[in-house]
């Protein structure tokens, strides 16, 4: 079945607003409802990719709270917090670690309009000592009540909303695909439009086929894979 032009337009309009320079590094957040709520917020804000470290490299799981957002926000799993932080720094991200205890700054006082990664900690323990030492800045959301911290997905939503607000104010939220490189846009457009064909291409080690203006695949594919189009 070819992709419906309406579906293709919808995919493009969402991709046009995706940002590759705003992300999360999630350290050992394990509960499916929290991870799901976080990814759903990422989708709503326009985040392309998030990063995660799970206990014993367990595959993250989601529930209905995600509403399928895990299909639209890439989740890159890292082996260790130090490797993840190093690779994000190499990509040009500034890392803002959430830290409720020591020398942290009120999150509203910092600038998130450039490449920004918020580092989010585990439900019970927060960030590891190693993460706290490796981040560029420590931030907190002021608490005025009896309880010491927010639910992790709520805290994440507050931080991402602040970044989006600052970027909106400076006219830095993408509207027409400028939040991604041309290659990344083209690659993601194909993966979102034809996930099964994209997986098949990866297995075969071949490039994705070109797409026409209505999202049609402009190449003849083997019969078996055509069923997934």
Binding site for ligand SAM (CB under 6 A): 98, 100-101, 120-121, 123, 125-127, 140-141, 143, 149-150, 152, 155
CA nearest neighbour of 128 among 94, 80, 77, 79: 80
Compute the least distance from the CB of residue 164 to ligand SAM, in Å.
17
Compute the least distance from the CB of residue 136 to ligand SAM, in Å.
16
Closest residue by beta carbon to ligand SAM: 126
Would you say 167 and 112 are in contact if contact means Cβ atoms under 8 Å apart?
yes
Compute the least distance from the CB of residue 162 to ligand SAM, in Å.
11
Nearer to ligand SAM, 44 or 141 (CB): 141
The token pair that represents 132 in the structure block: 């706290």
Nearer to ligand SAM, 19 or 139 (CB): 139
Compute the least distance from the CB of residue 29 to ligand SAM, in Å.
8
**β-strand partners of 140:** 106
Nearer to ligand SAM, 7 or 108 (CB): 108
Compute the least distance from the CB of residue 153 to ligand SAM, in Å.
8
Nearer to ligand SAM, 48 or 135 (CB): 135
Nearer to ligand SAM, 16 or 149 (CB): 149
Nearer to ligand SAM, 19 or 24 (CB): 24
Compute the least distance from the CB of residue 18 to ligand SAM, in Å.
23
Nearer to ligand SAM, 36 or 193 (CB): 36
User: Over the chain, what HEC string results?
Assistant: CCCCHHHHHHHHHHHCCCECCEEEEEECCCCHHHHHHHHHHHHHHCECEEEEECHHHCCCCCCHHHCCHHHCCEEEECCCHHHHHHHHHHCCCEEEEECCCCCCEEHHHCCCCCCEEEEECECCCECCHHHHHHCCEEEECCCCCCCCCCCHHHHHHHHHHHHHHHHHHCCCCCCCCCCCCHHHHHHHHHHHHCHHHHHHHHHHCCCCCCECCCCCECCCCCHHHHCCC
Would you say 15 and 178 are in contact if contact means Cβ atoms under 8 Å apart?
no
Compute the least distance from the CB of residue 169 to ligand SAM, in Å.
22
Close Cβ partners of 182 (under 8 Å, ≥ 6 residues apart): none
């Amino acid at each position: 079945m070819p992709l419906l032009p309406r579906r293709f337009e919808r995919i493009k309009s969402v991709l046009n607003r995706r940002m590759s320079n705003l992300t999360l590094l999630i350290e050992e957040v394990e509960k499916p409802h929290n991870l799901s709520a976080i990814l759903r917020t990422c989708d709503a804000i326009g985040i392309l990719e998030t990063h995660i470290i799970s206990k014993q490299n367990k595959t993250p799981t989601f529930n209905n709270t995600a509403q399928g957002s895990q299909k639209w926000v890439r989740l890159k799993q890292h082996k260790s917090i130090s490797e993840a932080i190093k690779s994000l720094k190499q990509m040009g991200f500034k890392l803002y670690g959430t830290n409720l205890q020591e020398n942290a700054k009120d999150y509203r006082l910092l600038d998130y309009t450039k490449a920004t990664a918020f580092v989010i900690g585990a439900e019970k323990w927060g960030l590891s000592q190693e993460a706290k030492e490796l981040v560029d800045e420590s931030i907190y959301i002021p608490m005025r009540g009896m309880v010491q911290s927010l639910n992790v997905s709520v805290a994440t939503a507050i931080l991402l909303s602040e970044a989006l607000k600052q970027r909106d104010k400076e006219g830095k939220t993408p509207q027409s695909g400028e939040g991604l490189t041309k290659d990344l846009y083209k690659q993601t457009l194909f993966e979102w439009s034809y996930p099964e064909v994209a997986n098949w291409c990866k297995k075969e080690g071949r490039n994705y086929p070109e797409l026409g203006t209505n999202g049609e695949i402009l190449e003849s594919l083997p019969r078996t894979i055509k069923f997934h189009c």
